[in-house]
Amino acid sequence: MQAAVLLGQFLFTVMRTDKMQIRDQVTPATILAELVSHARAQPADTQGFCHVNCQDLYGRFYAKAERIFTSFDKYIPLTWYLWRAGESETDIAMRYSSESLSGGTDRFIGMRLISSDELAAGDDQAVKIGAQIHELEKDYEALLERYFLLLCTDDEKQQEKVESIVETLKADTTIVTVVPRYAWSFFVMEDAVIDAVVDRLMYPDDYVRRQAREQVSGLDRRRLVLLLSCLIHAIEENGCFTVSDDFVMHNEHLQEFEKDNPGERGSVTEDVTAMDGRFFFHEADVDGFEIYQDSVSAVIALYYDAKVRYSHSGDEAVHYLHTLLEQSA
């Protein structure tokens, strides 16, 4: 009898420890949780969901999920499979296994997409959705790592129902409820940003990444955009580390950044002056600005890594590196 009790305690401890390890590990589910936790969109932007049908929602989010697994697989080999799920077949089910993550045991991730029409269909949506998810949790038990509920609706029109769903499901730590502003940010997110978040989470203490973060430390976000756009343009278009005055002073990447972040507008002349001597310098016989290679050597290494790993170049490379490094700038 005592042996049976001890065995039961042992098995409980193993299962509990295994679930804690799942929570602590970097997995496709934790990366997805990170991606849906950053809102660059405004509440008014979520009106865009009213013009997207269910199939387009499914297609876009399926591609996002697929990108996460593809990027993750470049670091840790995975066996993975995505398929349609749910009554309307617009939800996404994900199964993966890895010897290094789960000892080869299958893990599951669910993603349910709640459209504007579905949310408007009745007043008991919160209870109904909660019951359906809890049934799913019973079926999969500890193998269900996360369940993502994306509320793809107009935030301003459906605010009361959104708040009701959040309140109903908040006690369940397996469920990640993604409110409309965050869902829209993920909906429009570029692949380069997904790749950068995967990289940042997988090996945050990698030596080259630490060196790159150190090299750009102290730069604000707009000056980081200016530096990266100049560096990549110089390498790809000029085959050297020189950029013209015109490219610097009329930088399209910086103009795009200011359009998306009006509170971070500034003077390019002041930017260049502040960065002169550390990143930029002028030679008397050279028309334009030269970039100190030693000041960005680790950043250059990350650029070539992304070029090989993801085939990023041009605008994609700028967005990738900016996402990877902006928290350090």
* Cβ pair 176, 36 in contact under 8 A: yes
pLDDT digits (tens, 9 = 90+) for 90-144: 689 999 998 888 778 899 999 999 888 877 776 677 777 778 777 777 777 778 8
Quickly state the pLDDT bin for 23 (edges 50, 70, 90).
Answer: very low
DSSP string spanning 37-102? T---S-GGGGGGGGG--HHHHHHHHHHHHHHHHHHHHTTS--EEEEEEESTTS-EEEEEEE-HHHH
* All structural domains of the chain with their residue ranges: 21-189, 204-325
* Cβ pair 323, 185 in contact under 8 A: no
* Cβ pair 35, 197 in contact under 8 A: yes
Q: C-alpha 159: how far from its chain's center? A: 25
For residue 5, what pLDDT is reported? 32
Which of 7-11, 60-64, 193-197, 273-277 has the weakest average pLDDT?
7-11
What rounded mean pLDDT belongs to the chain?
83
Q: Does residue 61 surpass a pLDDT of 90? A: yes
pTM (predicted TM-score): 0.80
CA atoms within 13 A on the CB side of 57: 27
